[in-house]
Amino acid sequence: MKEFIAKHHEQIIGVLSGFDRLVFRGTLRGIAYAEGMKRYLNARPVLLKDFGTHVEAVSARLKAASLAEARVLGRAVTYLVSSKTDKDQTARHIMADEGIARGLVCVLSCVEPCQSFEIRRDREVQKLVLEPRLRKRLFLYHYWVHPGFGFMHARIQTWFPFSIQVCLNGREWLARQLDAARMKSVRQDNCFPWIADWAQAQRLMDRQVRANWPRLLNGLARQLNPIHAELFRAYPVSYYWSTYQSEWATDLVFRDAEVLRRLYPRWLHHALTPFGSPEVMRFLGRRLPLSGAVPKRFAGEVVSHLRQREDGVRIKHGGNGNSVKLYDKAYTALGNVLRAEATITNVADLRVYRPAEGDPDGELAWRVMRRGIADLHRTALRATVRQLTPIAA
């Protein structure tokens, strides 16, 4: 990355590197498996024969509490017949139509598959048993114009074990940071072709990595379910937060659009011609044998392809759920954005230098990256290293 910037420093007027899309998942690990759920029922106490009645009552209370703010504010509560409906677009239409500039925008609900539990009678042992099952249950999607994060959403499963997913965007967050700092900027879609002080903007983005993520995410969880503590008074459980998907984007802003348009096809050609599957796997963190060949036990798929987008042409190298991408994001009179992006959804291929789990002061070694938010800052480091190396020489 540094070599690329140095090579084109006369044309690059600004660089901004940080989170783009972030998706977190919250799990009540104390009740996310059958034995834990049984302990919860024993603590209440609830017999297995009364399981259905109990969970329906708890689910009804959660839904009522989760929708209470929307009812008070008069915000839209809309049921979607299909889970494939574009929820972000639906929420943005509601936000525009109703002129909502802050706070809760709406709550969208739909039925989706999820991991839950059911009671069945075991004929061999002649008794009821509690088992995990993939079910279809109602989810509530809350959309906000958050004071810190900007436009974002989070969803909660309204049936045990009440899993949560939070989706936000680092550039949306940065826009709020720039406003708070009274720094002038120009935004186009999800990028900034011009910022008055690029160095200060980068310092603001760096704060995102160091954020107190447990506090921020637990605050959002309380908005989704304000009565969590009451529901679990007899058997206290708290959310464990993991990073389901992270995107780290580096925007290189070129002064002259014609220069970027002239150079970009060369980089696309370079990105496709000299690199095969082993090189792509190595860029994405996969260990290879000394021969450099693809391991025979590897059962995944490595993909490299071009795609014509509305805002430019994208080159992507991907494998096992992780990818690196490059595309010309925006052309404007003030600046022209070349975006390099690394997406991580599968941490199993990545190694980070850290102590062993449960021993924070122990010996450091190269270990598998954890999905928990404890390794989120390491995700940022790994993504930064991988962005431009295989694409733009």
Q: Do 322 and 349 meet the contact criterion of CB atoms below 8 Å apart?
A: yes
DSSP E strand stretches across the chain = 12-27, 76-79, 103-122, 127-146, 150-157, 164-169, 185-188, 191-195, 240-254, 302-309, 312-319, 322-331, 336-344, 351-354, 365-368
Reported as a single tens digit per residue, the pLDDT across 164-202 is 999 999 999 999 999 999 999 999 989 999 999 999 999
Based on its alpha-carbon atoms, the radius of gyration of the chain, rounded to whole angstroms, reads 24
Reported as a single tens digit per residue, the pLDDT across 269-304 is 888 877 777 777 777 777 776 676 777 777 677 888
Q: What is the pLDDT, as a whole number, of residue 380?
A: 62
The mean pLDDT value of the chain amounts to: 90
Average pLDDT over residues 333-342: 94
Reported as half-sphere exposure (CB side, CA atoms, 13 A), residue 147 has a value of 3
Sign (positive/negative) of CA torsion 220, 54, 129, 44?
A: positive
Of 109, 227, 110, 211, nearest to 168 (Cα)?
211
Rounded Cα distance between 165 and 126, Å, is 38
Tokens of 63: 């839904």
Type of residue numbered 78: T
Of 131, 392, 138, nearest to 265 (Cα)?
392
Peptide bond before residue 161 is cis, with ω within 30 degrees of 0: yes
- Tokens 């954020």 label which residue? 211
* Cβ within 8 Å of residue 97, ≥6 positions away: none
- Determine how many CB atoms are found less than 10 A away from the CB of residue 151: 18
DSSP E strand stretches across 285-384 = 302-309, 312-319, 322-331, 336-344, 351-354, 365-368
Predicted TM-score (pTM) of the model is 0.90
Higher pLDDT, residue 231 or 363: 231
Torsions phi, psi of 44, nearest 5?
Answer: -70, -50
Query: Of 219-228, 240-249, 278-287, which gets the smallest average pLDDT?
Result: 278-287
DSSP state of 372: B
Rounded Cα distance between 104 and 153, Å, is 10
Reported as a single tens digit per residue, the pLDDT across 350-391 is 777 788 877 888 888 888 877 888 778 766 655 554 555 555
Kind and range of the H or E element at 60?
helix 51-73
The distance from CA 228 to its chain's CA centroid, rounded to whole angstroms, is 23
Rounded Cα distance between 188 and 194, Å, is 9
Reported as a single tens digit per residue, the pLDDT across 9-50 is 899 999 999 999 999 999 999 999 999 999 999 999 999 999
* Cβ within 8 Å of residue 322, ≥6 positions away: 284, 285, 342, 343, 344, 345, 346, 349, 350
Q: Residue 321 pLDDT more than 90?
A: no
Q: Residue 234 pLDDT more than 80?
A: yes
Rounded Cα distance between 84 and 65, Å, is 26
